[in-house]
Structure 1
Amino acid sequence: MTLKIGIARETAPGERRVAVTPETCRKLVAAGAEVHVERGSGAGAHFPDLAYEEAGAVLADGAAAAVADADAVLCVQPPAAAGIAALKEGAVLVGILQPQLDEARGAAIAQRGVVAFPLERLPRTTRAQAMDVLSSQAGMAGYKAVLIAAVLAPRFFPMLTTAAGTIRPSKVLVIGAGVAGLQAIATARRLGAQVEGFDVRPETREQIESLGGRFLDLGVSAAGEGGYARQLTDEERAEQQRRLGEHLRSVDVVVCTAAVPGRPAPRIVTAEMAAGMKPGSVIVDLAAETGGNCELTRRGETVEHAGVVVAGPLDLASQGAQHASEMYARNVLNFVQLLLKDGALAFDWDDELLARTVWPERPAAAG
């Protein structure tokens, strides 16, 4: 029996990405799957229906037709609870699902017996890198954040020598040296800015410096065991905040990227610290969706406080929907290939990538 894979058009506000591109559709078809794609699914990322048809997809009129009786449904954002309830019983659902954040969604998954693979739960191991949607999408977010900062800043980023005199380069500080932060550092450097990077993990110094940035050392180390940051004491945190506040007075642009998966974003830049920055300074907060790293951040808004502009953009990866979709779709394809054997679904629960990603969690085998 042919494996049916369904892709419905994304309906979340601002979402332009798609979970399957014509490139990955062709590979799924070559693996023996029948791929049904709702018409217009790739339009937001500029993948026309004709490209899917040429890749071997069956075009469906409407979401219900695309996912009806599908053995596996691939998505970017999770379907609504009603959409999940309409899936085939026992169907596989793969995407950024976050079932624990929506009680109705989680209940629908459980009640329908859906085998859900929330890709944000994927273990961060070397083998999983080719499937790591959080990293691939964070790269686009970091890139776009710097471009937003460059538009909002009333300054050039690079140093310029002109007939009207020399323009000094903008000084950019990137807080957080994860994938988004490192991409932001690299992008700001390409634009010619003087770039610094700050992270509580001192081992990120080498990564920041390899991209041409300067590691901002505030004299407080959060180095812990196994490469993880430890919790700072109240005294250490207060000293870190004091030194950061003083340093921000000389910074033109701050890009905040610090995030903790499944938890609200850590507050790093207080209102007082932001108000102490030079008039015309800019803060772009990638963590706006989970509360923001800056106390002044307003989700989805750009505000001004004491002459400092604070932007809390949403859906940054979707702003680069074409390349973001290409990366995301390849991540999904690599994961789905773990589920396929001879063109059919097969679950190897001894594979830690499957066992640790599936939701609800499966009890460990006895013995």
Structure 2
Amino acid sequence: MQKLFQIYSKFCHYRSIIIITFLLFILLIILLIITIITTKTLFLSHSSTKINIISSTSTPSINESCYMSTTTALPISCGCPIKSNIKIINGQSSNQGAWPWMVSYGPKRIHVCGGALITSEYIITAAHCLHSNDKNNPIDITNIEIRIGITNLNDVTYENLFSIRKVILHNDFNPNTYKNDIALIRLDRSVIQSDTIQMLCLPRFTSYIYPRVNTTVIAIGWGHTIDPLIDSNSQISTQLQQTFLPILPIIKYNNNNTNLCFNQEIDSPNQQFCAGYENGLSDTCQADSGSPLMFFNEQHWELVGIVSYGIGCAQKMLPGVYTRVSAYIDWIHDRIRY
């Protein structure tokens, strides 16, 4: 009898262990299922992030924070002015540090063209600014001074000054039609990023329709604020200017094979686009060439256009023409040494 009692006691003991083990196993399975569901929910919340598109009926906020990206918790390395607030006709002056990738260049202390810093050593600009029609007399790049991190052209210090190590013009740049009006400048040294010196983001993909028609972009530059054809005494602006411009549709006329934005003809819609107003309300102008046209997308600024050419400044039915940067993403990456 005693032996049977011992056997029964052992059985009860082991049964308790088995029950406890089984309950712990069930609890572990429940915790695992909860973890999987939570992870999947977080993944889907990130993968379904919407792209912010700015339409012509809304103005992008220059106070948008680049550090509140919906796709990453880390600060974005380009297109984010630390001191953000927000040739330009009917524009407004920019605050110091608002556009820290903006570049001015030309002979010593003379502004000729603009550009944008896209890596620590490379600037993107318009090819026509550095092109010479006389192959026997090319532009002397040793006389060109690069100025980065300034808003006022008179506020230049040694830290803002750079020289050119190399210029890369697009091989197929056409000085007559301004097709492929794009160039890269390699600096003599890497920039040191600060509150006033940052890089501008490139578009993330190749596209021949980006930026889309009717979106609103921002143009910046030190160009003339009055059309020199109207006022011969017109001067460039010493203070960096900014203005909003809508992207315009391009109409193709097959009967004479022309592409028009209002009355402005362009050669290649895949590589060029127009931005401006039918009534000439605002526009880029002389000495704005090479300067960036920017679009606020996914919590950062992207370079979508390069100031290329126009007929006069802020003329009715004659908007400015810009190089479509998204058409040259491969060309840019193939030539930059990261």
TM-score past 0.5 threshold:
no
Give the TM-score normalised by the residue count of structure 2.
0.24
The answer to which structure has the higher strand fraction is 2
Question: Which of 1 and 2 has greater Rg?
Answer: 2
Select the structure that is richer in helix: 1
Normalised to the residue count of structure 1, the TM-score between the two structures is 0.22
